Amino acid sequence: MHAGIIFFLVILGSILFHIFTPWYWTDIASNWKGMDDTITLTFWVGGGVFVAVCLFMIYCVFKYSYKEDRKAEYKPEDKKLEKILTVATTLGVAALLAPGLIIWNQYVNVPKNSIEIDVMAWQWGWQYRLPGNDGKLGTTKVVNINDDNPFGINLDDPYGRDDVMVQSDIINLENNRPVKILLRSVDVLHNWYVPQFRAKMDAVPGVVTYYWFEPNKVGEYEVLCAEYCGVGHYAMRGGVEVQDPNSYQQWLGEQETFSDLLAKQNKEIETKKVAKNNSKIEKVIYKEEK
Amino acid sequence: MSDEYENKSGYQAQSSETLTGSAGSTPDIDYVRPAELPEQDLYHGHTFITKWVFCQDAKVIGVQYFLTAVFTGIVGLILSWLMRLQLGFPGLAGFITAEHYYQFVTMHGMIMVVYFLTALFLGGFGNYLIPLMVGARDMVFPYVNMLSFWMFFVAVAVLMASFFVPGGPTGAGWTLYPPQTILEGTPGSGMGILLMLVSLALFVIGFTMGGLNYMITVLQARTRGMTLMRMPLTVWGIFTATVLAMLAFPALLVSAIMMTLDKVIGTSFFMPTILKAGEVLEYGGGSPILFQHLFWFFGHPEVYIVALPAFGIVSDLISVHARKNIFGYRMMVWAIVGIGALSFFVWAHHMYVSGMNPWFGFFFATTTLIIAVPTAMKVYNWILTLWRGNIRINTVMLWCLGFIVTFVNGGITGIFLGNVSVDVPLSDTYFVVAHFHMVMGIAPVMVIMGAVYHWFPLITGRLLNETLGKWHFWATFLGAYSIYFPMHYLGFIGVPRRYYEMYDSPYMTSAVGMNEFISLAAFLVGAAQFILIFNIIKTLKTGKPAPKNPWKANSLEWHTSTQPPEHGNFGERLPVVHRWPYDFSVPGAKDDFIPQTTPPSEVVHTKVEKT
């Protein structure tokens, strides 16, 4: 008897915990409310089944616990009941699957007006690249990456020259503008994940993966790596700052482009060359003086 | 081979006798078709070594498997304590560095899934129960069966050795995802990972030897009258799981071999061009996602390799202790087979956000949710077996009820994760950790415990103490439930799994209290297992001897010549089976059970519906 009571308290406790829990979703800050809604729906349907099954079990424990003089029912099969249960379960499952697939369809089809962002991951850090005025990102190669070309942009790709480079683990986003996150990794698996945006996808070395979302709340968010990437995994954090369009444009204007970087390097190289020449000239003059 | 069973012709004579009995004018209702093959020769060991060490008796091999698996399980349990120590009380145990933490996570996962649960269900219960339940004298290949255990033993030894090599065991996560698994930056990326891969390969080889035995014994060595549709669901569960294992483990074996080659001789099966510490490594062109496909092609059936035996065993336990036939036996059999077949078409639901082509999501979400239907049918049939039963609320039944609660809970959260777009926010968070521990950690362990209390009298001849058993159950069930039920909500917050520390992330600060609570519950649940160990030791020393067939069960293992059964199981004559094992509370019968061996002529006045 007490067994049934304890099981009942467990189920009751689970329901109360769910209602009164202070631990629940971190407030959403993107367009993926549909994911939350599907979770809520699944909670109602699934939670209902869980509670119903457990309560029925507890009822049986109370009602049919062992008595010497009672005999259990002998009924190997009940085709009708089994059929009803199969059909009802199939319908329930289909009702849960349908919204899931509809939202997945939105998830894999990126809106045309979204801005592409190259998120580059390594052990253990992030950096970002935005398309320049041409609206297109230049192609890249892992082997190109070095101090002078931190994103490994192909030098012969004209689209790459005006790319905006954000060599920081914090990226700014424009509020209410869809972004397509293009993920790549130079070493192992990573995953660029902001709990408030709900969306995530692994960064896989050797390929470019993607996902999209539309931030809809101005603010600062923490980026977490969500795919185990070695001993520094838990420390691989980054940041996102969602801004209104004006502040965003201002921030964007302050960023360095690839050609800026190249120009700076060229200048440095030229300065070095000039310095070399100068020293040569000096030497010549020195010789002549002798 | 001097110690063979003699006088085998006696059995033949017996069967032809039955045959002639049917030749009369009235059909013999007890008729069972005669044996087609002579009986198996058994090797009876006489020395300590051949009897208890290199033993060919499936029952002893089963116990050997069981004890070795339990040893690995205790190692896995201690590792989980250490992890919870770090998560609940970061920095309290200063010796747990991030490297150590990830090594604990990895070894805990691999040990519990492969070396504990798989070995325990198939190697332990499979070996002990299959020959007894189908009415065979032993497995069909006893020598290979012995080799199977010793191969497993070596695999465990190699795995444990990895704790002591330079660099320690691998810390790559139990999924061993490349490229990080074999690169610096992951703990144990040298010797540790190699020993892990070698150990897995040995496990697969050993398991193949055992698995062939289980399959062929079920298919070829059933006693007369034991049709497939008269087998206990335990045998159906273990048999189907073995078929799955035979098809799934090769994928693990090849991926282990390919990864070893990547590591040792520098091939690039799974390794693309990689830039590490400013230098391009000598790899190129490989695919990390290929590994994930191979791994989960093994990994998802693996879930059912653990779950199906648990389904089967719990069906039998519920039926026996509710004194009622299992509801919808045929549906139960087809659900086991159907789940087994479907389990090969759902693997990529572990990879929705892995970077594979996202269009796969539609297919795998659909197949995954289809598998929920036969699984739900099994749950309905368990509770409908309780309905209008005559339920003994003893320790065994408590474990079964605990199984139903935890399994349904974990099954429902599986519908969240299988439903592709719902998985996106929840994958790689603690929701996943809570889900799979509930459904393939706690639920199968509930069944294992129930099975231990149920079959302990058969194996040792003594009944375990009920009071201690109930304490053990409630501490384990309530403790485990309070670990994993609240843990789902950490996943909703967005706390990612495999984090050694959260620092001051807003997600985690709100959950510090819960983490401390979960850790305390985990310490309690672990400690509660000592009640069982104490109970076993006490029972072996002073426990009360069990009467023959103490639970009044029908299946053949309780109807052996001696209890515990001796080598050869059934004494002089193999049993002949006349009915399914679930004839409980048949109207008109004297007792509330009719053993499988009872011929119809002895119970003519009963209204047996299915035989």
pLDDT for residue A173 is more than 80: yes
Residue B373's contacts (CB-CB under 8 Å, 6 or more residues apart) are A86, A89, A90, A93
Query: Comparing C-alpha atoms, which of B33, B40, B29 is closest to residue B19?
Result: B33
Between CA B518 and CA A9, with CA B508 as vertex, the angle to 5 degrees is 35
Which chain A residues have a beta carbon less than 8 Å from that of B331? 77, 82
Here the tokens at position B7 are 């006088």
Q: Sort out which chain B residues have CB atoms less than 8 A from A119's CB and list them.
A: none
Chain B residue with minimum CA distance to A48: B412
B7 CB-contact burial (10 Å; exposed 0-12 / middle 13-18 / buried 19+): exposed
Establish if A23 touches chain B: CB-CB under 8 angstroms. Answer: yes
Comparing B505 with B402, the larger pLDDT belongs to B402
**pLDDT at residue B94, as a whole number:** 81
CA B25 from centre of chain = 50
Q: How many residues does chain A have?
A: 290
Tens digits of residue pLDDT in A25-65: 888 999 999 999 999 999 999 999 999 999 999 999 999 99
A residues 248-267 closer than 8 Å to B (CB): none
Q: Is the pLDDT of residue B4 over 50?
A: no
Burial class, B362, CB count within 10 angstroms (exposed 0-12 / middle 13-18 / buried 19+)? middle
User: Tell me: the pLDDT tens digits for A203-219?
Assistant: 999 999 999 999 999 99
Amino acid letter, A19: I
In this predicted structure, what is the pLDDT of residue B23? 46
Helix A33-63 vs helix B395-418: crossing angle, to nearest 10: 160
**Mean pLDDT on B462-476:** 94
* Separation of alpha carbons B377 and B370, rounded Å: 12
**What does the DSSP 8-state code read for residue B125?**
I
In chain A, where are the structural domains located? 2-64+77-108, 115-265
B280 closest CB neighbour out of A47, A143, A231: A143
Q: Coil, helix or strand for B458?
A: helix
Instruction: Look at A204 and B183 and tell me if their CB atoms are within 8 Å.
Output: no
The band of A286, judged by pLDDT with boundaries at 50, 70 and 90, is low
User: What does the block give as tokens for B513?
Assistant: 């209290």
Instruction: Give me the pLDDT at residue B179, please.
Output: 92
On chain A, the residues whose CB falls within 8 A of the CB of B587 are: 71, 74
In the 8-state DSSP scheme, what is residue A65? B
pLDDT tens figures, A4-32: 999 999 999 999 999 998 888 888 999 99
pLDDT score, position B610: 64
User: How confident is residue B52, by pLDDT bands cut at 50, 70 and 90?
Assistant: confident
Amino acid at B591: D
Per-residue pLDDT, B255: 94
Is pLDDT above 50 for B14?
Answer: no
Closest alpha carbon within chain A to B584: A74
- All structural domains of chain B: 49-231 (1.20.210.10), 548-611 (no CATH)
0.80 exceeded by pTM: yes
Mean pLDDT is lowest, of A127-131, B3-7, B268-272, for B3-7
Confidence of residue B180 (pLDDT cuts 50, 70, 90): very high
Per the document, the length of chain B is 611
**Contact residues for B581 (Cβ-Cβ < 8 A; gap 6+):** B230, B231, B232, B316, B553, B554, B555, B556, B596
- CATH number of A115-265, picked from 2.60.40.420, 3.20.20.60, 1.10.3720.10, 3.40.50.2300: 2.60.40.420
User: If we measure between CA atoms, which residue out of B7, B104, B35, B64 comes closest to residue B498?
Assistant: B104
Average pLDDT over every residue of A109-129? 93
Residue B12 pLDDT: 42
* Chain A residues lying within 8 Å of B362, measured CB to CB: 101, 104-105
Cross-chain residue pair B507–A234, CB shorter than 8 Å: no
Best mutation site among A200, A210, A212 for testing chain B: the one with the most B CBs within 10 Å? A200
Q: What is the pLDDT of residues B409-447, one digit of tens each?
A: 999 999 999 999 899 999 999 999 999 999 999 999 999
Give the C-alpha distances (Å, rounded to integers) separating B46 from B15, B138, B149, B261, B308.
31, 17, 20, 45, 37
Greater model confidence, B6 or B546: B546
Q: What 3-state DSSP class applies to A248?
A: helix
- Least confident range of B197-206, B532-541, B596-605: B596-605
- Per-residue DSSP letter, A158: G
Give A-chain residues touching B582 at CB under 8 angstroms.
Answer: 76
pLDDT exceeds 80 at position A280: no
Nearest CB among B102, B328, B486 relative to A231 is that of B102
Q: How many CB atoms lie within 10 A of CB B277?
A: 10
Cβ atoms of residues B122 and B235 within 8 Å: no
- pLDDT at A75 exceeding the cut of 70: yes
Token pair 């850790």 is at which residue? Answer: B519
Mean pLDDT of A108-135: 92
* pLDDT value, residue B34: 82
Quote the CA–CA distance of B257 and B237 in Å, as a whole number.
30
Tracing tokens 């672990």 back to the chain, one arrives at: B526
What per-residue confidence (pLDDT) applies to B92?
Answer: 84
Residues B189-203: what's their mean pLDDT? 94
Burial B121-136 (b: 16+ CB within 10 A, else e): bbbbbbbbbbbbbbbb
Q: What region does B605 belong to: left with phi over 0, alpha with psi -120 to 50, or beta?
A: alpha
How many Cβ atoms from other residues are within 10 Å of residue A138's Cβ?
23
Please give the pLDDT value at position A285.
Answer: 56
Q: Give one DSSP letter per residue of A130-145, joined into a string.
A: E--TTS-PPPB-GGG-
Nearest chain A residue (CA) to B510: A23
Handedness of CA B352, A36, B513, A217 (dihedral sign): positive
Residue B421: which of A49, A100, A186 has the nearest Cβ?
A100
Give the DSSP letter of residue B438.
I
User: Phi, psi (5° rounding) for residue B593?
Assistant: -150, 145
Segment 59-118 of chain A within 8 Å of chain B by CB: 60-61, 64-67, 70-78, 81-82, 85-86, 89-90, 93-94, 96-97, 100-101, 103-105, 107-108
What is the rounded distance in angstroms from the CA atom of residue B424 to the CA atom of residue A104? 9
Neighbours of B458 (CB within 10 A): 23
The answer to whether residues A243 and A179 touch, using CB atoms and an 8 Å cutoff, is no
Q: How far apart are CA B450 and CA B473, in angstroms?
A: 9
φ and ψ at A33, to 5 degrees?
-60, -30
Residue ranges in B277-429 assigned as alpha helix (H)? 288-321, 329-342, 360-386, 395-418, 420-426
To test the contact with chain A by mutation, choose from B97, B383, B398, B421 the residue with the greatest count of A C-beta atoms within 10 A, namely: B421
Gap between the Cα atoms of A222 and A213, Å rounded: 16
User: Tell me, what's the pLDDT at B42?
Assistant: 83
Residues 499-518 of B with CB under 8 A from A: 499-503, 505-507, 510-511, 514
A152 dihedral zone (left: phi>0; alpha: psi -120 to 50; beta): left
Name the residue among B516, B513, B378, B369 with its Cα closest to residue B447: B378
- pLDDT higher than 80, residue A270: no
What would the two tokens of residue B67 be?
């004890």
C-alpha span between A1 and B489 (Å, rounded) = 31
Question: Minimal Cα–Cα distance from A81 to chain B, Å?
Answer: 10
Average pLDDT score over chain B: 90
Q: Which pLDDT score is estimated for A76? A: 85
Task: Give yes or no for residue A1 having a pLDDT over 90.
Answer: no
Whole-angstrom Cα distance, residue A192 to residue A227?
Answer: 8
Banded model confidence at residue A279, pLDDT cuts 50, 70, 90: low
CA A111 to chain centre: 17
- Are B429 and A226 an interchain contact pair (Cβ–Cβ within 8 Å)? yes
Name the H helices within chain A.
2-20, 33-63, 79-108, 245-254, 258-289
Report chain B residues whose CB lies below 8 A from the CB of A75. Answer: 325, 327, 388, 609
The reply to whether residue B421 touches residue A38, judged by beta carbons under 8 angstroms, is yes
Among chain A residues, the shortest Cα distance to B353 is held by A201
CA-to-CA distance for B485 and B474, rounded, in angstroms? 16
A48 close to B366: Cβ distance less than 8 angstroms: no
CB contact under 8 A, A42 and B422: yes
Return the pLDDT at B19: 43
Can you tell me the mean pLDDT for B154-160?
A: 96
Q: What's the CA gap between A80 and A224, in Å, rounded? A: 51
Mean pLDDT, residues B323-340 taken together:
93
- pLDDT for B557 equals 93
C-alpha to C-alpha distance for B472 and B454, rounded to whole angstroms: 15
Locate the DSSP E strands across B162-252: none
pLDDT score recorded for residue B20:
43
* pLDDT classification of B21: cutoffs 50, 70, 90: very low
Instruction: Give the closest-approach CA distance of B189 to chain A in angstroms.
Output: 10
